[in-house]
Amino acid sequence: MKILLLCSAFNGLTQRVWTELREDGHTLDVRLAGSEDGVRRAVAGAEPDLVLCPFLKDRVPEDVWRRHRVVVLHPGPMGDRGPSSLDWAITEDLPVWGVTALQAIEEMDAGPIWGTRTFAMPREADGPARKSAVYNGPVTEAAVELAREVVAKAADPAFVPQPLVEGAPGVIGRLRPTMTQADRTFSWADPTTHVLRRIRAADGAPGVRTVLAGVELLAYDAIPGEALPGEPGTIAARRHGSVLVRTGDGAVWIGHAKVPRGIKLPTTAVLGELLAGVPESLDHPITQGPSHGPREIGYRRVGDVGVVRADLYNGAMSAGQGHRLAAVLRHAVAQDTKVLVFEAGETFSNGIHLNVAEAAAHPAAESWRNINAINDVCRELITCTHQLVVAAIGGNAGAGGVMLALGADRVVAAAGSVFNPHYRSMGLTGSEYWTYVLPRRVGIREAERLTSDCLPVGTAEALRIGLVDEVLTGTRAEFDAAVLDLAARLAADPDLPTQLAAKQAGRTADEQRRPLEAYRIQELAEMSRDMFDDRHGYAGERHAFVTKARKDEPGSVLALPRQRDEHSVRVVAV
């Protein structure tokens, strides 16, 4: 079937739908639309069998939905209408939510129903779920199921969508207004759970307006902390970019913030000198005990398995985080464990921290520090030869984050993860030893295709081409448990010594053929031109990404293989 994906942005959900429907054999175009006129321009000239909208903020004009079958995937159960669906669901602590496929008509989100899914609203171990976790988890899974159902129904000439009937069984939603900052407001004297819920309902965007250290800002990335005596709203401590703010019955760590018209940064970077005198709360990452605060990076041991976890906000790794992660990995590889698991949080990794680089006094120099720190992390994984290294990709990965995982011996991915193993959309040629780790997994021709076409890769394709070794289904908790079980079985394998001996011999042979440092030097020579000479527009791409500026004209076609241009980083056989 010829399908047009019409969207406001080619976000993670849209990429997931695109990869899954392509895998099913359908022909897809992706076009952006930023207004009603943008929708018209996007659809103009296209003659699709179906227009599917996985993520569309704008109304579909009547002349478009009368001419084409347009189906919108709305992140709410039947009857729910409005642009702040998940925000209201989390704020009101609703137990059940859903996704509905509905036909576009004059009134947004009120058209005939093509299908629906409901699910129990997830919770995190420390409180309410973040909006991003709900959207990237059960909402995305339900949307993919519905996309397939819609395509199947669109192929059936006898299918007729059912009109929405208020009060009918299964219609549990209602019309809700756009949530404003007045709806999100809270007092620091409120209970911790209430504060958490308000901030997590706005996490990612738009954040919640509040005041810290006398500065009006938007707060994100909230984690409960230990109760300390003092006035609610005052800052008790700081750690790794977060600040601990007292609440009515405890405290909350605020990891990220931004001032109006600013960019989102670690909260300590936003408040700067205003935190003078606030004590640093130290947390050693090498511990088996519980963490009383934001432990972004940590190590634990489970029998013969060592586990390094990097739970970085949105998968972005700053230079400081890279240095700390490399230090923890050095500790991990020095242990007498047999298997080392490297895992991450909701997003596996997206490479360098573009926001921190953009906010620096010298963005190019900060980018350079950043890429070198991540390279140090990659080197620790690649050169670990007396342990079997397993990379556990439990969420999406992009750019250097994909290459980071490929430094492991075994790459295991959660079903539904999406990979973007390329750099060019950000004006970079890339590093993270990609010219070594990528071709040894997928071959030179496939490596050149992946880094030139700049297309998302789903887990089915990743498994087929050798980008990953195994795909595991289930919830995130089930995935983490399955990876640990796999690692324990690998550690107990009587053939492990033979495997490790072969690994050591292979690394030695590769080093003699071409030293690992040579790959790094060649890649960084090109990256220095990208970052300091800005030969491919990295500065502008970075600024557009950080400020959420629209780079593509509404109606432009995306997700089509781009013509390959010459580049100076060679893919070398090993």
- Span 206-235, pLDDT tens digits: 999 999 999 999 999 999 999 899 999 999
236 and 189 both lie in a single domain: yes
* % of the chain at pLDDT higher than 70: 93
- For residues 55 and 20, membership in a common domain is answered with yes
401-436 as b/e: b if 16+ CB within 10 A: bbbbbbbbbbbbbbebbbbbbbbbebbbbbbbbbbb
Q: Is residue 165 part of a domain?
A: no
Q: First and final CA of the chain: distance in angstroms?
A: 41
**Do 210 and 146 sit in the same domain of this protein?**
no
563 pLDDT tier (thresholds 50, 70, 90): very low
Residue 33's SS3 state is: coil
Measured at the alpha carbon of residue 485, what is the angle toward residues 481 and 487, in degrees to the nearest 5? Answer: 115
Angle at which helices 496-513 and 476-492 pack, to 10 degrees?
90
Q: Are residues 264 and 310 in the same domain?
A: no
Return all residues near 506 (Cβ < 8 A) that are at least 6 apart: none
pLDDT at 108 over 90: no
Q: Which tens digits make up the pLDDT trace of 23-51?
A: 999 999 999 888 888 888 888 878 899 99
Instruction: Output the pLDDT for position 286.
Output: 64
In a domain, 289, yes or no: no
| Amino acid at site 212 | L
How far apart are alpha carbons 16 and 458 in whole angstroms? 7
* Domain annotation covers residue 288: no
- Domain presence at residue 279: no
Write the pLDDT tens digit of every residue in 126-137: 899 999 999 999
Instruction: For residues 104 and 60, state if they share a domain.
Output: yes
Which range is least confidently modeled, 241-255, 277-291, 320-334?
277-291
237: domain CATH number is 3.10.25.10
**Confidence at residue 125, expressed as pLDDT on a 0 to 100 scale:** 86
The pLDDT score that the predictor gives to residue 281 is 83
136 and 35 together in one domain: yes
Q: Which range is least confidently modeled, 34-48, 68-82, 485-499?
A: 34-48
Q: What is the CA radius of gyration of the chain?
A: 24
**Residue 570: pLDDT band with limits 50, 70, 90:** very low
284 band by pLDDT with thresholds 50, 70 and 90: low
HSE-CB at 263 with a 13 A cutoff on CA atoms is: 18
In sign, the C-alpha dihedral spanning 349, 351, 258, 59 is negative
Which is more confidently placed, 247 or 284?
A: 247
564 within a domain of the structure (yes/no)? no
Band (pLDDT 50/70/90 cuts) for residue 564 is very low
Examine residue 335 and state whether it is found in any structural domain, yes or no.
yes
Confidence band, pLDDT 50/70/90 cuts, at residue 295: confident
Q: Which amino acid is at 532?
A: F
Average pLDDT, integer, range 491-500: 98
Residue 143 and residue 248 share a domain? no
Residue 311 within any structural domain of the chain: yes
For all residues of the chain together, what is the average pLDDT? 93
pLDDT of residue 562: 36
Question: Residue 363 pLDDT more than 90?
Answer: yes
Predicted pLDDT at 406: 98
Same domain membership, residue 215 and residue 305: no
Question: pLDDT of 509-549, one tens digit each?
Answer: 999 999 999 999 999 999 999 999 999 999 999 999 999 88
- 433 with 307, same domain? yes
**Collapsing DSSP states into helix, strand and coil, what is residue 179?**
coil
Q: Which domain holds residue 96?
A: 2-154
CA dist 14 and 7 (Å) reads 8
Same domain for 225 and 135?
A: no
What CATH number does the domain containing 377 carry?
A: 3.90.226.10
pTM of the model: 0.93
Query: Does some domain include residue 313?
Result: yes
Confidence category of residue 561, pLDDT binned at 50, 70, 90: very low
Same domain assignment for residues 391 and 511: yes
Domain at 36, CATH number: 3.40.50.170
Residue 206: is the preceding peptide bond cis (ω within 30°)? Answer: yes
Number of domains in the chain: 3
Task: Assess whether 267 and 301 both reside in one domain.
Answer: no
